Structure 1
Amino acid sequence: MKKFFILLLKPFSFLPALLVMYMIFSFSSQTGAQSGNLSYKISHEVIVTADKILNKHMSEERIAYYTDKIHTPVRKLAHMSEYFVLAVCVSLPLYVYGLRGILLILFAGIISVGFACTDEFHQSFVAGRGPSKRDVMIDSIGAFAGIILVQFLCWNALRRSRSKNRRRG
C-alpha cells in the first residue's frame, strides 16, 4: 500500500516547477512599462534600504542616481534567480525519479533552457517586450547553477547516508 501511495504522489513532486513556470509566464505577460516599473521599484527599495543600513542620508536625487545605476543588473539578477529556482524545482523530482549525473544535467537543462526560449518567444507578443538571446543566456546560467546545486547537495546527502550505513553494518 505504501508503494502505491508513493507511486501515486510522485508526479506531484513536479507541482512546484509548474507553479514557478506559471509565475515566470505571468511576469513575462506584463507589458514593458509594467515590468520596467516593477524592477525600478525593487531597485529603488534596494537603494533606500542600503541608505538606511549604511546611515548615509542620501538625497532623493542621489537615490534616483543609484537606482538608475543598478536597475539593469537587478533585472538581470531577477532573470537568473527565477531560472535558478525553476531548475531546482525541476531537478529535485528528476533526481527522485533516479536521474543522476549528466542525465540530470541534460534533462533538467533541456526543460529549463527550453522554457527560457519559449518564454522569450512569448514576450514577442507582449506590448513593449521582445525576445532576447542575452536573456536566454542569463536564464541558462541561473538554471545550470540550480541544477549543479541540486546535483551536489543530493550527491553529498547520499554519500553521507551510505557512509553511515557502512559504519552500522
Structure 2
Amino acid sequence: MKKYSKFGKAAIILILLFLWYSMIFSFSAQNGEISGSLSGSIALKTVQVFDKLTFGHRSEENIALLAKKLEFPIRKAAHFTEYAVLGCLWFFFFRIFLGKAGGKKQRICMLVSIGIVFLSAAGDEFHQTFISGRSGNFGDVLLDTAGGFTGIFLCGFFNRRARKS
C-alpha cells in the first residue's frame, strides 16, 4: 500500500470534511416542508421494507401511521450519525499531526474535535433560523454534539486498541 505524507493525508481528510459539511448544510438549507417530506419518505420506506422482511401484512394505513411515529426518531438518529462521522473526521485530521501517541496528546485531539463539532452544530442550528419553516434548537446542538462525542470516543478507543496490537 502506498504511503502518503502527513499533508497528503490531511488534504484527503480536508476534502472529506468539506464534502461532509456541504451535505450537512445542504440538509439545513432545505425549508421545513422539504425537510419534513424527506424524513417522512425515509420513515415510510423503512417501515415498508421492514414489513416485507418480516412477512407482515400491514395495511397501507397502518404502515403510514407507523412511519409517522418513526419519523422523529429517524430524523434524530440521522443527526446523531452525521455528527458522529464529522467527529471521526476531525479526530483523524488532528491525529495525523499528533502521530500515534496516546495519552495526553490523544485527549487533546479528542477535546479539540469535540469543541469543533459543538461549534459546527451550533452554527448549523443558527443557520436554520434563517430558513423558512425551520428553527434552531439547542437540544439539537446537544444531540449533534453527543453524536460527535460518540464518534470521537469510538475512534479514540479503536485507535488505542490498534496501537496496542
Using structure 2 for the length normalisation, give the TM-score. Answer: 0.90
Letter in 1 for 2:8: L
Alignment partner, residue 9 of structure 1: 8
How many angstroms apart in 1 are the aligned matches of 2:15 and 2:164? Answer: 27
Counterpart CA distance in 2 for 1:96 and 1:41 is 39
State the SS of the aligned residue for 2:86: helix
Deviation digits for residues 15-44 of structure 1, max 9, x if unmatched?
Answer: 212211111000000001100000100000
1:123 is the counterpart of 2:128? yes
Amino acid at match of 2:58: M
Q: 1:146 aligns with which of 142, 146, 151?
A: 151
Deviation at 1:10, TM superposition (A): 3.7
Q: How many pairs were matched up?
A: 158
State the partner residue of 2:69.
69
Structure 2: gaps of 5 or more residues: 100-104
Give runs of aligned pairs for residues 90-129 of structure 1, distance below 5 A: 90-98=90-98, 100-129=105-134
The one-letter code of the counterpart of 1:38 is L
Which stretch of structure 1 is more off in the superposition, 91-100 or 112-121?
91-100
Unaligned runs of 5+ in 1: 161-169
Partner of 2:56: 56
d(CA) in 1 for partners of 2:76 and 2:9? 33
TM-superposed CA distance for 1:9, in Å, is 1.5
Write the mapping of 1:17-32 to structure 2, written as runs, cut at 5 A.
Answer: 17-32=17-32
Query: 1:97 is paired with a residue of what secondary structure?
Result: helix
Q: Distance in 2 between matches of 1:11 and 1:47?
A: 40
Report what 1:157 is aligned to: 162
| RMSD over equivalenced CA pairs, Å | 1.7
Task: Give, in whole Å, the separation in 2 of the partners of 1:11 and 1:69.
Answer: 42
Partners in 1 of 2:77 and 2:10 — Cα distance?
Answer: 30
Q: How far apart in 1 are the matches of 2:121 and 2:91?
A: 16
Match of 2:37 in 1: 37
Alignment-mate amino acid for residue 138 of structure 1: L
Name the CA distance, whole Å, in 2 between partners of 1:153 and 1:8. 23
